[in-house]
Amino acid sequence: MYTLRVEGAFEAAHRVVNYPGKCDRLHGHNWVVEATFQGTQLDELGMLIDFKVAKKALAEILEDFDHYYLNDFPPFKDGVNPTAENLARIIYEKLEAHTEVQASPAELTALTVWESPKSSVTYTKN
């Protein structure tokens, strides 16, 4: 089994609506995102997924969030709180569906979002 990880980052603001503390106020983070791929089958070049392809796919998705107020984006604007947990799931689903990720023998198995150097959440499908 091979495990491959790539990392990306973006900056964005949010507020956790109805949180009983400071996080209910508008604030921002330098979000760091790590995508983990696994598999046993390599492509004709001997790669699970090209690092360049994985980083590009992740960067394209993160660009949609960069320097925005997350509460303005669906599903957050529809009542889902933009927590690190929900953000990890949403980014995972977008990356998993990305055309170039779908075309590789790699399986996206985990997506970790850090909202600070000491606080992260990891989303997996199972």
Output the pLDDT for position 50: 96
Structural domain containing residue 18: 2-123
Percent of the chain with pLDDT strictly greater than 70 = 100
Output the pLDDT for position 22: 95
pLDDT tens digits, residue range 7-35?
A: 999 999 999 999 999 999 999 999 999 99
CATH code, domain with 103: 3.30.479.10
How many distinct structural domains can be found in the chain?
Answer: 1
Banded pLDDT at 74 (limits 50, 70, 90): confident
Output the pLDDT for position 125: 87
Residue 6's identity, in one-letter code, is V
Q: How far is 60 from 63, CA to CA, in rounded Å?
A: 5
- Provide the sign of the torsion angle of the four alpha carbons 123, 114, 63, 68, taken in this order: positive
pLDDT tens digits, residue range 47-58?
A: 999 999 999 999
β-sheet bridge partners, residue 119: 116
Output the pLDDT for position 126: 77
Task: Give the mean pLDDT of the chain.
Answer: 96
